[in-house]
Chain A
Amino acid sequence: MNTTKLIFIFCFITMSFCHAQTINWASLQREQRHITSLNTGLDYGVTFGLAYHCQLKTTLPIVVGAEYSIPSGKNLVDDFKTKVGGTIRWISIGDFQFSTKVEGVFRRYENNYVRLNNFGSDLSGIIGYYRPKWFLAGEVGFDKAIVTHFKHTDLMKENFAAKDGWYNPATGGNLYYGVQSGLSWRSHDLTLKAGRIVSQDFKTKPLLPLYVQFGYNLKIK
């Protein structure tokens, strides 16, 4: 097994279990620069994700990184979601802390009729009570599918010659809100987040109108 394969496998393992990394700010030490995460849960389907984040040497705690997740199913590589972005902890008053997260999203969906490639954004705010060994927080976010490329299959074109190309304005968007919690010890976190999802019109709901994520973080100096 050559080095490239080893790097690929390492990346896959440290980045396959994800919605977004959940952080206990009270247990994250300034010298812990690297955070790798695995997670699984419900995120528009049963998903597995992994993530890597890096804590920057800045006055305000900032964590930047990338996430990758796939839904379960027979074809594991036809659908996926990647996110690149960062979280800034803006306010800390006693054990209460407020942070915001900004991520660019690239995701793909494929079935018998179409392949969709989408660029979007995921913005959220998190406010909570953080202790070194545990935390409880609430989060509100908006996941926007900004522009999507549609490429239809021959099967679809037998039914209707749907036009391929980039579709704009925004092709979708969902608001989500919920709670985050977790336990921390030494350089480890076990996290849980759960909440509800509503479409951007605040009236309709997705088929799976909730999200749940179990995660594990390993923080490395």
Chain B
Amino acid sequence: MNQTLSIISATLLTFFILSCEKELSINDDGNLVPKTVDQDASLPSITVNNTQLHAETFGNPANRMLVILHGGPGSDYRYLLNCKAFANQGYYVVFYDQRGSGLSKRHPKSIYSIQIMLDDLSAVIAHYKTSASQRVFLLGHSWGAMLATAYINAYPKSISGAILAEPGGFIWQDVLDYVGRSRSFRLTSETLNDATYLDQFITGKQNEQAILDYKFSLMASADESAESSLGNDGPLPFWRSGAVIQEALFEVGNKEKPDWTTNLNLYTNKILFIYSERNKSYGLAHAQKVSSAYPNIQLEKIIGAGHDMISFPTGWSTFYPKALNYLNAL
């Protein structure tokens, strides 16, 4: 009996000692996710189009401009920082986290649209452009390549060329087909259960973006799992995911079913279209189907790499010379 009482007392004492630890607030920026540019003045940023974007540049501002567009929607440019290398080859490289993504300012869900993403890109180019004759190139990965194409379709004369790495599609059905394949996991898989089981630990309202972003970041492990069809080498580096913009733009797509190919037949500049060997959800057939919207395509396969071919050494060592040759030839 005395032993039982001792055990109970020890357990209660431990519990009370643990409960004395100062508790943290889950929705405070800086606890589970980093602060955004509107909360941390030390971060590099620009204020354009009624928002504040996390942005930085590398290279001589007078050189030809290369704007890097990250994927997601809702990822950030950290995983594309290999592209800084273009700055040493005569390019003015511009990185920015898209609105509501990475370390850029968060907005209410209702504000997001494809047009506002295009307007942000126009504003970023205008902000950094140093002369009217400065040529502008886009390098988009995944969703970033879709955004680049939507931009070229809307403003073809403003872009001199583009490198597009595994865009899901330029018409909505192609996007749905690709997302369906790339997000297909067995019902009993560790990856799927890691995503669904989390919902009983953390829930957030739409205005609690720190919680939602954190939760979305945890789900990034799905893309790096061995069960993923994306074929990546490992985990991607990131700053902060944007959960609300990701959900918002997907809802916009489902509602508007966009077609970003309507003017592409008029765009005769060569496009470098990249796909990877190891992304089982993509492949040559999908690459040919999606890229066929452009009249002038250089289609390249990156051997030994997965979807995030720009981020890992094997993919980068193949991608970089192809991309540089393409840009220099234009």
Residue A6 CB within 8 A of the other chain: no
If A160-B33, A162-B32 touch, whether A44 touches B203 (CB-CB below 8 Å) is no
Which residues of B have CB within 8 Å of A204? 203-206
User: B205 to A107, Cβ gap below 8 A?
Assistant: no
Give the secondary structure class of B's interface: loop
- Measured between alpha carbons, how far is A155 from B234 in the docked complex, in Å? 11
Which residues of A have CB within 8 Å of B192? 45
A104 to nearest B CB, angstroms?
13
- Measured between alpha carbons, how far is A79 from B201 in the docked complex, in Å? 12
User: A171 to B189, Cβ gap below 8 A?
Assistant: no
User: B197 to A165, Cβ gap below 8 A?
Assistant: no
- Measured between alpha carbons, how far is A75 from B78 in the docked complex, in Å? 30
A119 to nearest B CB, angstroms?
10
Which residues of B have CB within 8 Å of A174? 199-200, 203
User: A46 to B190, Cβ gap below 8 A?
Assistant: no
Give A207's nearest chain B residue, CB to CB: B196
- Measured between alpha carbons, how far is A203 from B206 in the docked complex, in Å? 9
User: B224 to A112, Cβ gap below 8 A?
Assistant: yes
Residue B31 CB within 8 A of the other chain: yes
User: B194 to A111, Cβ gap below 8 A?
Assistant: yes
User: A208 to B196, Cβ gap below 8 A?
Assistant: yes
- Measured between alpha carbons, how far is A109 from B221 in the docked complex, in Å? 13
Which residues of B have CB within 8 Å of A107? 200-201
Which residues of B have CB within 8 Å of A81? 200
User: B201 to A172, Cβ gap below 8 A?
Assistant: yes
Residue B17 CB within 8 A of the other chain: no
User: B189 to A44, Cβ gap below 8 A?
Assistant: no
Residue B156 CB within 8 A of the other chain: no
If A111-B221, A112-B235 touch, whether A73 touches B187 (CB-CB below 8 Å) is no
Which residues of A have CB within 8 Å of B90? none
Residue B48 CB within 8 A of the other chain: no
- Measured between alpha carbons, how far is A57 from B22 in the docked complex, in Å? 43
- Measured between alpha carbons, how far is A113 from B195 in the docked complex, in Å? 12
Residue B303 CB within 8 A of the other chain: no
Residue B115 CB within 8 A of the other chain: no
From B18, B196, B221, B238, A206 is in contact (CB under 8 Å) with B196
Number of interface residues of B (CB under 8 A): 43
- Measured between alpha carbons, how far is A74 from B224 in the docked complex, in Å? 15
Residue A21 CB within 8 A of the other chain: no
Which residues of A have CB within 8 Å of B238? 159
Residue B188 CB within 8 A of the other chain: yes
User: B203 to A148, Cβ gap below 8 A?
Assistant: no
If A73-B194, A155-B235 touch, whether A166 touches B188 (CB-CB below 8 Å) is no
A176 to nearest B CB, angstroms?
10
Scan A142-174; emit 1 where CB is below 8 A from any B CB, else 0.
010101101000010011101101111101111
User: B193 to A72, Cβ gap below 8 A?
Assistant: yes
User: B189 to A158, Cβ gap below 8 A?
Assistant: no
Which residues of A have CB within 8 Å of B240? 160
User: B201 to A72, Cβ gap below 8 A?
Assistant: no
Give A112's nearest chain B residue, CB to CB: B221
A-B contact pairs, 20 of them (CB 8 A): A71-B197, A73-B190, A79-B193, A111-B198, A111-B218, A112-B221, A112-B224, A113-B221, A118-B201, A150-B32, A155-B235, A159-B237, A160-B240, A162-B214, A163-B31, A171-B202, A172-B203, A173-B203, A197-B199, A204-B206
Starting from the known contacts A45-B197, A158-B237, 9 additional A-B residue pairs (CB-CB under 8 Å) come to A71-B193, A109-B198, A109-B201, A147-B23, A160-B33, A167-B26, A169-B25, A171-B201, A208-B199
Residues of A participating in the B interface, judged by any CB pair closer than 8 Å:
44-46, 71-75, 79, 81, 107, 109, 111-114, 116, 118, 143, 145, 147-148, 150, 155, 158-160, 162-163, 165-169, 171-174, 197, 199-201, 203-204, 206-208
Among all A-B residue pairs, the 4 with the closest Cβ atoms: A73-B190, A206-B199, A45-B193, A172-B203
